[in-house]
Structure 1
Amino acid sequence: MPKLNLRQKENLDGYLFLTPAILFFAVFMVYPFFYSFYLSLQEKTGMKLTDLSFAGLTQYQKVLADPEFISSLINTGIYTFSVVFFQVAIGLLTAVVLNRALIGKTLTRSFFFIPVIISTIVCGVIWTWMYDPAASGLMNRAISIFGIEPIAWLKDPKWAMTSVIVMSIWKWIGYHMVIYLAGLQGISNDYYEAASLEGANVLQKFIHITFPLLSNTTWLLVITSIINSFQIFDQIYTMTNGGPMGATNVIVYFIYKAGFISFDLPYASAAAWLLFVVIFILTLAQLKVQSKNEQ
């Protein structure tokens, strides 16, 4: 066996250290990815999970013709648009305010970021208590000050999705704030000093300096937020279970019900791959728009 030189030994050591991570990735990411595609081309023929037969694109046709899937896609779109818009807008506004020389700004930043590090399940439980339909619920006690009758926030189809959206915005504002703060640190103060000499006010500085120079940061947050929002599950599972009357039934919860309640894995896999295609297309579109903006 030929003797290894120093570079070859270092490379071998590197591969050995990477092997556990590669195996983990292959077993828990790569294999399920391709196996789910295989399942999406099958059809159940019996009660067992292994009773399958090849069915081609039949499962995809069933999913696309399912009114519940279309409804879940619309609900996901409503949730995504609302959450992404307000998370980015409020996160940017908060970052601009807390980027100034204010007393206690470090502590204030910490308060905004605390929800980010709390488990989504825990946040869902907390907000479920706050949304208690009884008059003693925190939200109902707050609106009672203005003479408004108690609202069944998570039980009323008109309010259920809005309630979940508010909770999600609250949880992730801190993340957007921190990313924007990092972007603001990279903007030279010379731009603002030059604008001040030209007589620009605070709003004009924001419109013509701050916002354009944060465009890359904004697009990064928009892309990641859209991808995360299309995969919403924890909030729905904890707070509403897709109800009431399907008002909060989103795509991932639809997939969960098909795969782990109805145990129709081929059908659930087909729906999951359709979700993958939607996210992939949206990501490509966002990257293309970002590329044009940079040019």
Structure 2
Amino acid sequence: MENLTSVRFLLPLLAVYIIIVLIPFLQSIVFSLTDYDGYDFANAKFVGIANYQAIFQDQTLLAGLGFTLLYTVATTVLITAIALPLAVTLNRKFFGRNFARSLFFFFSVPSMAVLGLVWQYIFSPLGTGAVNTFLGKLGVSPVPWLSDPALAKFCVIFIAVWAQVGWHATLYLAYLQAIPADLYEQASVDGATRGQQFVHITLPQMVPAMGVSIFMLLTGGLKVYDLPFTLTTGGPGNATYTVTQSIIVTGIGSGRYGIGSALGVMFFLCCVVLVALQQIVTSLIEKRLS
């Protein structure tokens, strides 16, 4: 009887999942095998894997995939490398600690779309940009922050790291505060240094938090759209073009729902593989450190 009640509670959630997630995904698979234009599916022709082959022949789509992977890996590595030591620092007692915690968390409050518009003004390659205006006062020529492909990629990644590191540091801080102080006191009595305490006490206890943080960074990075679009609209050229923007432009903007759906299916499979690898690696690290 208890199991039957549990099933009844799960049925509405299952129905919502089927309607919102499963059915659209299955539709995308069907669309990806046709030349569907978004209007008349009855007249759509079956093209097999032609849409998937077209993805690897389209340099714009490949550029979107390349930058998306670069953005995902770079932001995940940098934010993790900065947020964990920052959380350890913010967990110590010092004057103005609460203010420092609030300050770092405040950076993550505005949406990425808003930050893209604000930083577009700051990094404007014209003479009116805040950074170039400051450099001009120092006698330095204007830097093409958003019109040079390499610099544009750097700016997008820099802003993403700047905006998210405080949030992930707060996540780590919550886990740090749950570690019993007795463990550190006993380690100090045994003569362990701060570095040894971090490696043998803090790090093993932080693996679950790192798993959550990295999972969120990977999934958020793979589906990124708002920041690159509002900052550079995917340019210059296709330097900051993303997979999500490719799906929107190809499927909705150009009416090529078949290729757009194929790109979405491939993107979903890539996400599944990367997240699965992350979960496996996290589990192995947790077992080794435990």
Same fold? TM cut 0.5: yes
Whether the 8 Å contact between 2:204 and 2:286 is mirrored in structure 1 is no
Is 1:29–2:21 an aligned residue pair?
yes
Is 1:173–2:161 an aligned residue pair?
no
Runs of 4+ in 1 over 6 A off after TM superposition: none
Structure 2 unaligned runs (5+)?
A: none
Aligned counterpart for 1:246 among listed residues 219, 238, 241:
238
Aligned counterpart for 1:257 among listed residues 221, 236, 249:
249
**Cα distance change of structure 1 residues 142 and 100 upon mapping to structure 2, 3 Å threshold:** farther
Aligned counterpart for 2:273 among listed residues 272, 278, 281:
281
**Aligned counterpart, 1:101:** 93
Mapped partners of 1:22, 1:199: distance in 2: 54
**Cα distance change of structure 1 residues 194 and 149 upon mapping to structure 2, 3 Å threshold:** farther
SS in 2 for 1:54: coil
Number of positions where the alignment pairs a residue of Structure 1 with one of Structure 2: 284
Quick one: which amino acid aligns to residue 272 of structure 1? G
**Aligned counterpart, 1:115:** 107
Give % identity.
Answer: 30
The farther-off stretch of 159-168 and 89-98 is: 89-98
Normalised by the length of structure 2, the TM-score is: 0.87
Whether the 8 Å contact between 1:131 and 1:140 is mirrored in structure 2 is yes
Mapped partners of 1:217, 1:266: distance in 2: 39
Mapped partners of 1:47, 1:11: distance in 2: 42
**Aligned counterpart, 1:203:** 195
Structure 1 unaligned runs (5+)?
A: 1-6
Quick one: which amino acid aligns to residue 144 of structure 2? A
Once the two structures are superposed, what CA deviation does each residue of 1:115-140 show, in whole Å capped at 9, x if it has no partner?
Answer: 32322211111111111223342222
> Counterparts of 1:262-273 in structure 2 under 5 Å?
262-273=254-265
Whether the 8 Å contact between 1:49 and 1:263 is mirrored in structure 2 is no
CA RMSD in angstroms comes to: 2.6
**Cα distance change of structure 1 residues 221 and 146 upon mapping to structure 2, 3 Å threshold:** farther
**Aligned counterpart, 2:215:** 223
Select the structure with the greater relative contact order (CA < 8 A; seq sep ≥ 6): 2
Is 1:85–2:77 an aligned residue pair?
yes
**Aligned counterpart, 1:54:** 46
Cα drift, residue 223 of structure 1: 2.2
**Cα distance change of structure 1 residues 47 and 190 upon mapping to structure 2, 3 Å threshold:** closer
Quick one: which amino acid aligns to residue 55 of structure 2? V
**Cα distance change of structure 1 residues 111 and 49 upon mapping to structure 2, 3 Å threshold:** farther
**Cα distance change of structure 1 residues 155 and 28 upon mapping to structure 2, 3 Å threshold:** same
Normalised by the length of structure 1, the TM-score is: 0.86
